[in-house]
Amino acid sequence: SAVISQKPSRDICQRGTSLTIQCQVDSQVTMMFWYRQQPGQSLTLIATANQGSEATYESGFVIDKFPISRPNLTFSTLTVSNMSPEDSSIYLCSGRTVEAFFGQGTRLTVV
């Protein structure tokens, strides 16, 4: 399957600031997604990143808090805006052909 490079791998941020996470895929993929994973828990879908149009957000997630870009079929960014300690989590991007494959994750700590 394709390979996703995700960065940063980890960051510690001050509350009230924003962090942008980037994912680069080594081939074109139709679908890209962003997930959040709390420690010891499973993955929760934040949104589907749509190429050339606004992302589709899941219940409980909004564009103002998690703006997403997808300028082409190989790249996407997720911004975590106006961060609070509750945003501390692992954020994962994913691409999908038949099965899904994941970036290495970004471990975010907000202090």
Residues in the chain: 111
Distance (Å, rounded) from C-alpha 17 to C-alpha 24? Answer: 24
Burial of 53 (0-12, 13-18, 19+ CB in 10 A): exposed
Asked if 101 is part of the footprint of other proteins (rule: CB under 8 A), the reply reads yes
Asked if 53 is part of the footprint of other proteins (rule: CB under 8 A), the reply reads no
Distances in whole angstroms, Cα of residue 15 to Cα of each of 18, 19, 20, 82, 84: 8, 11, 14, 7, 5
Which lies closer to other proteins via its Cβ, residue 13 or residue 31? 31
Shortest separation between residue 109's beta carbon and other proteins, angstroms:
14
Asked if 41 is part of the footprint of other proteins (rule: CB under 8 A), the reply reads yes
Give the binding range for other proteins (CB under 8 A) out of 11-19, 66-74, 79-87, 103-111. Answer: 103-111
Asked if 88 is part of the footprint of other proteins (rule: CB under 8 A), the reply reads no
Distance (Å, rounded) from C-alpha 24 to C-alpha 44? Answer: 21
Asked if 48 is part of the footprint of other proteins (rule: CB under 8 A), the reply reads yes
Chain positions contacting other proteins, by CB under 8 A: 1, 30-31, 33, 41-45, 48, 92, 94, 96-105
